[in-house]
Structure 1
């Protein structure tokens, strides 16, 4: 009797001994978003929420990060049926998924080595930092099929680059190079193609080795700024920062500073 081959998951999560989770998208040939990838990404985010690593790097295998969505499988059936209710429900899932990535209580880095379209760009925008090679390019091209981005990408792009540039990128459905988006403040760092994967891992590992609870407080403050403005951020800052005095990381780092000077502390994430 022949065993049925096991299909590998399109998204995997590997957590190393230092607490860095490496999330790898591998759904050849183009890492298109279909039902299998949707379910795998949801499972990966749930795993991150449960495992609570100290940092995460999101990366992709293949020539491109993603060519976009498998329109024939995902959107065309709803369009044929004129099913607005199904579209609304599906996009509610996507928005929730983007929000959960954005709210992860540890640093997240997205590494883009090539073409990064639609859902993959939206996931990148939900992460804390986006690093890219100079040859990477990005696009929210949903307008070409009569849609608009629906994982939170438009608003997160506006948060990074301003509403005008978000309109330009989304409404033209164009592809924009990493160098241009770095000038806009969308891409946080350009890294040479040679050694890119290792350099992205090194950055993510550096963040994961830092004061995890302090990084979570930074994210909380910035989230309140984005969602409620400056005064909302002011309101949450005393509690978010003050609570850090009860953490082992702060206590150890303060002692290290007093005894050995700046930059000698190590952190455990507690």
Structure 2
């Protein structure tokens, strides 16, 4: 039975980690994630919400199943394979939102950091705790934390292995929004739907521009902007929105993702 469930709520795809009580990541979980990302790549939705069932989002990697018996060459190959899934998730041409309602450790936190936006319940806690087994995060968490919060904060989270509350990580620009525990699921879905209702093709262009900045700084992003923004003038969404703006003023446009 798959540990991940992919459903569709109109234009929003919802990918749920559903293997309580701990929602641990192992080879099967990553294979299921890879398959889901492949499906979403083949038929992109207008947005993706990632969430989890159970009391915790995830207690991280199943150490007994994944680490036992690994030597250096096989471990390197494993991390390269799992990072390839992270890269494909980041390359989806739609906004991606990760909703964390509770404890979110190691692999799950790294998947969350690969999403465009991270929202959390007020009681949620996060940690990259690989130090307890003598490891450093191997699915991209360290560098993605550095991109969001700076190198010093990334070193702190990884080297201490402490658990950090959602509100602290919001101040550090790791978490985008914190919602109350009561009604968190509805708030997270509403936030994702708000993003999905926007100009999907423009969101994809925004993702490409941000990626250019992360890869090469402001000047590289500047080189990417003319084509990324220019191509939008061939989309139905922009043409219809411009017409609506001229005819009725701002705030009346609707978008179809075309």
TM-score (norm 1): 0.94
Name structure 2 gaps, 5 residues minimum.
Answer: none
Q: Deviations over 1:2-25 (max 9, x none)?
A: xxxxx3x111111222x1000100
Correspondence for 2:202: 214
| Two-structure CA RMSD over aligned residues (Å) | 0.8
Give the aligned length: 258
Correspondence for 1:64: 56
Name structure 1 gaps, 5 residues minimum.
Answer: 1-6
User: What's the CA shift for 1:48?
Assistant: 1.2
Correspondence for 1:118: 106
- 1:55 is aligned to 2:43: no
Correspondence for 1:20: 12
Q: Deviations over 1:205-238 (max 9, x none)?
A: 1111110000000010000000111111000000
Q: Deviations over 1:152-210 (max 9, x none)?
A: 11100000000000000001111111111011010100001111101111111111111
Structure 1's consecutive aligned runs of 4 or more residues displaced over 6 angstroms after TM superposition are none
Distance 1:20 1:77 in 2: 40
* Secondary structure of 1:66 counterpart: coil
Correspondence for 1:89: 77
Alignment match of 2:117 (pick from 129, 147, 154): 129
Distance 1:94 1:57 in 2: 20
- 1:37 is aligned to 2:4: no
TM-score (norm 2): 0.98
* Secondary structure of 1:252 counterpart: helix
* Secondary structure of 1:229 counterpart: helix
